[in-house]
Copies of this chain bind each other. A is one copy, B any other.
Amino acid sequence: MTNKMWGGRFAQGPSAIMAEINASIDFDKRLYAQDIAGSKAHAAMLAKQGIITKADATAIRKGLDEVKAEIDAGKFKFSAALEDIHMNVESRLKELIGEPAGRLHTARSRNDQVITDLRLFTRDAIDQLDAGLVDLLRALAEKAEAHAATIMPGFTHLQSAQPITFGHHMLAYVEMLSRDWGRFADARKRLNENPLGSAALAGTSFPIDRAMTTKELGFKSAMRNSLDAVSARDFLLETLAAASICAIHLSRLAEEIVIWSSAQFRFVKLSDKFTTGSSIMPQKRNPDAAELVRAKPGRILGAFMALAVVMKGLPMAYAKDMQEDKQQAFDALDNLALAIAAMAGMVRDLEPNKDILRAAANSGYATATDLADWLVQNVKMPFREAHHVTGRIVALAEKKSCLLSDLSLEEMQAIHSGITKAVFKVLTVEASVASRLSLGGTAPSNVRRESKRWKKFLKGK
Contact = CB atoms under 8 A, between A and B. Distances in A.
Given A292-B21, A328-B299, A436-B203, A159 B262 contact: yes
A315 B9 CA distance: 31
Contact of A289 (B22, B161, B202): B22
Contact of A450 (B9, B164, B224): B224
State the copy count for this chain.
Answer: 4
A385 B226 CA distance: 25
A422 interface: no
A269 to B, nearest CB: 13
Contact of A203 (B317, B321, B442): B442
Residue with the highest number of chain B CB atoms closer than 10 Å, among A13, A163, A284: A284
Nearest to A283: B364
A376 to B, nearest CB: 6
A218 to B, nearest CB: 18
Contact of A316 (B5, B14, B256, B341): B256
Q: How large is the interface on A (under 10, 10 to 19, 20 to 34, 35 or more residues)?
A: 35 or more
A248 interface: yes
B440 A210 contact: yes
A403 B301 CA distance: 45
Residue with the highest number of chain B CB atoms closer than 10 Å, among A176, A248, A385, A438: A438
A231 to B, nearest CB: 7
Contact of A190 (B10, B12, B183, B377): B183
Nearest to A105: B383
A282 interface: yes
A238 B183 contact: yes
Interface string A315-347: 111111111100110000000001101100100
Given A201-B164, A313-B251, A206 B438 contact: yes
A205 interface: yes
22 contacts: A6-B276, A15-B273, A17-B289, A20-B338, A21-B288, A21-B289, A155-B316, A164-B201, A176-B228, A176-B234, A202-B441, A234-B248, A237-B245, A238-B242, A251-B312, A256-B316, A259-B315, A282-B365, A283-B363, A286-B320, A291-B321, A302-B303
